[in-house]
């Protein structure tokens, strides 16, 4: 299935397949990272074209940003590859099965609101002694 077909399928049935949702999400993040990398590389090339023989600190900062953008892009590409590979490491072990069980849960794992106060609890702002 092509990516555009997968995106359309996820848009049509967003709760049908959590794995497909993950692939579409991470693929989108990968595209964002690639675009950011290309912009940063363009900035670095422009700075290097206007440099004398030595590289100054702002240009070196751009080089570090390019390295960080490459790392982010490569990491996201690894996630996409892992999501697409059914035999990838970590997908068949006990922890993967446990994660799959928790993934089906719809609500939060812990309560998100305070428990109700018992009738005998002191009122806020009042002391116990009367």
Q: What is the pLDDT of residues 32-69, one digit of tens each?
A: 999 999 999 999 999 999 887 888 898 999 999 999 99
Contact 99, 93 (CB under 8 A): no
Q: What is the mean pLDDT of the chain?
A: 82
pLDDT tens digits, one per residue of 13-27: 888 888 889 999 999
> Which residues have a Cβ under 8 Å from the Cβ of 41 and sit 6 or more positions away?
66, 69
As a whole number of angstroms, the distance between CA 115 and CA 44 comes to 55
Angle (CA) 46-40-2 rounded to 5° is 130
Does pTM surpass 0.95?
A: no
Q: Whose CA is closest to 83, among 123, 109, 10? A: 10
């Amino acid at each position: 299935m092509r990516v555009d077909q997968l995106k359309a399928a996820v848009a049509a049935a967003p709760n049908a397949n959590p794995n497909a949702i993950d692939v579409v999400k991470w693929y989108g993040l990968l595209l964002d990272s690639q675009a950011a990398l290309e912009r940063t590389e363009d900035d670095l090339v422009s700075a290097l074209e206007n440099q004398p023989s030595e590289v100054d600190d702002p240009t070196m900062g751009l080089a570090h940003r390019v390295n960080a953008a490459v790392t982010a892009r490569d990491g996201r590409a690894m996630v996409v590859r892992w999501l697409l590979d059914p035999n990838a490491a970590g997908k068949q072990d006990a922890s993967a099965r446990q994660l799959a069980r928790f993934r089906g849960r719809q609500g939060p794992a812990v309560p998100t609101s305070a428990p109700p106060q018992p009738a005998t609890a002191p009122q806020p702002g009042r002391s116990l002694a009367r």
